[in-house]
Chains A and B, each alone.
Chain A
C-alpha cells in the first residue's frame, strides 16, 4: 500500500475537466508540499506540478494543482487525447523521514 492514496483510474472526454485526488496525512501533505508527475508508457516521469500549484515552464495552463489540509489535487481542464498518461503525487514525509508517492492514477481520454 502506498502512503499517499490516489484513485487507480480516471477518465473524461475531450474538452472536459478532470480532477485527480491525492490523500495523505499530517506528516506529509498536511505539513509540506505536494508534487505531481506525469508518465507516458515506456518513458521516465516528468515533473508536472511543484509546491502544490506551481507549473514548471512548458506545462500548459490547463493543468492546475491545489492542496487543502492533508489532501492535494490535480485538475486538467480542456482535456486532450495527449493527456492520456499515468499521474503520480508525491510528498516529503517527516515521520519516516523520506519521500512518499501515491500509487498512481491512469487517465483515459474516452
Chain B
C-alpha cells in the first residue's frame, strides 16, 4: 500500500457519459497530480493541485476538470466520454520534488 488511495479501481461506462475519479493523497502530502496512461501516449501529465489550488496544467482536455478539496482529496471529472478516453488514470502525491511522487494503484477506465 503506497498510501495514495484511488477509487474506483475499474470503471466501465458508455460514450457520452460523465465519471468522477477520486484520489486521497498520502498523509502529509499537499500536492496531487493526475496522469493518464494509454498504450500509444505513455504517461501524460494532466494537472497538479497544491493545497487546494491549481498549480500546473498539462495536456488536459476541456472535457476534463479536476479539483482538490480542503481535506486534500482530489477528484478528476471526465465528461462527454469518447472511446479514446479509455486509459489508466493515475493519481500521485508528493510533499516536494526531492523524493519524487508516490502513485496510487490507478483507475482503469473503459469507455464502450
Binding partners A and B: no
Residues of chain B whose beta carbon lies under 8 Å from any beta carbon of chain A: none
